[in-house]
Amino acid sequence: MKISSSGLNRRRLLASAAALPILAATADGRTISGNIPWSPFSGAPPRPVNPLGWYFFTPTEAATVEAIVERLIPADNLSPSGKDCGCAVYIDRQLAGSFGHADRFYTKGPFRVGLPTQGYQGELTPAGRYRLGLQALNDYTNTTYKKDFRALAPEQQDTVLTGLDESKIELKLKPGFTTKNFFELMLQNTMEGFFADPLYGGNKNMAGWKMIGFPGARYDYRDHIEKHNQPYPRGPVSIYGLGG
């Protein structure tokens, strides 16, 4: 049974392999002539992240980032906190993936300290910047307050974050990667988590969209464009129709 079954599988495999140049050719460079190529299932829909656990952060890093996003987006009557909306999960998944590894970026040397108009010129990937930055942040708070960042009172955390934002605190980082760079990276990624589609791990229950009245992944506003100065009547939807 086993042999015949695996024989069948093998035949299936060969049959599908033979069909490959026609059916799945869009995945590969090739010559196209006389037709418009089309093959079923060749789209690339996004995959919702698993909401559980940490893929990139160590437990200490995760707790630190959760504390940071809780202060960047604090809970109030407008929305739950950045932490409760999943911003730390979002950042973790981004850093574990192609963004964290700088897959898109030009990463060849030589690395030189550039002018402000030349953009980030450091050698570290986004993942590497978080790893170094979070360590340096806890080193700073331990020197100044004898505590990890996450253990500080909310007001102290705000003081430290303001210090990073306004370059009043200089963390021990690397040439080409300033404290201000690190703060801006965290702020940008936190806002991404709060406002991106929930499938990426943040914006839980579309809380970010509900806060401002963004209807999300809707597609057709022809019925409302000429209703000037009138509120849009429908709430948000996400790509998978999920609240997150």
Residues 98 to 127 in contact with another protein, rule: CB under 8 A: 98-99, 103-108, 110, 112, 114-121
**Rule CB under 8 A: is residue 165 a binding residue for another protein?**
yes
Asked if 217 touches another protein (CB under 8 A), the answer is: yes
Phi, psi of 79 (to 5 degrees): -170, 160
Nearer to another protein among residue 26 and residue 50 (C-beta): 26
Structure tokens at 133: 């930055």
Cβ of 161: how many Cβ atoms within 10 Å? 20
Say which residue the tokens 């959760």 belong to: 66
**Residue 233, interface with another protein (CB under 8 A)?**
no
Q: Which is nearer to another protein, 80 or 132 (CB)?
A: 80
| Smallest gap from residue 58 Cβ to another protein (A) | 24
Stretch that binds another protein, among 5-13, 27-35, 54-62, 136-144 (CB under 8 A): 27-35
CB of 8 to another protein, least distance (A): 31
> Can residue 24 be called a binding residue for another protein (CB under 8 A)?
no
Yes or no: say if 73 and 82 are a contact pair by the CB < 8 Å rule: yes
For residue 66, the minimal CB distance to another protein (Å) is 15
List the one residue from 1, 29, 53, 143 that touches another protein (CB under 8 A).
29
Q: How far is the CB of 125 from another protein (least distance, A)?
A: 11
Binding mask 124-163 for another protein (x = CB under 8 A): ----------------------------------x--x--
Answer yes or no whether residue 205 interacts with another protein by CB under 8 A. no
> Which 50-79 residues touch another protein, going by CB under 8 A?
71-74, 76, 78-79
All residues at 6 or more sequence positions from 244 whose CB lies less than 8 Å from its CB, including other chains: 86, 198, 199, 202, 203, 204, 205, 206, 238
What is the largest distance, in Å, between two alpha-carbon atoms of the chain? 73
Task: Tokens for 195, please give them.
Answer: 């406002």
Burial class (CB in 10 A: 0-12, 13-18, 19+), 85: buried
7 binds another protein (CB under 8 A): no
d(CA 32, CA 40): 17
The neighbour count for residue 134, using CB atoms within 10 Å, is: 23
Q: Is 2 in the site for another protein (CB under 8 A)?
A: no
DSSP structure string for 152-207:
S-HHHHHHHHHHHHTT-S----BTTB-HHHHHHHHHHHHHHHHHS-GGGS-SGGGH
The residue from 13, 212, 234, 235 that contacts another protein (CB under 8 A) is: 212
Least separation in angstroms between residue 21's CB and another protein is 13
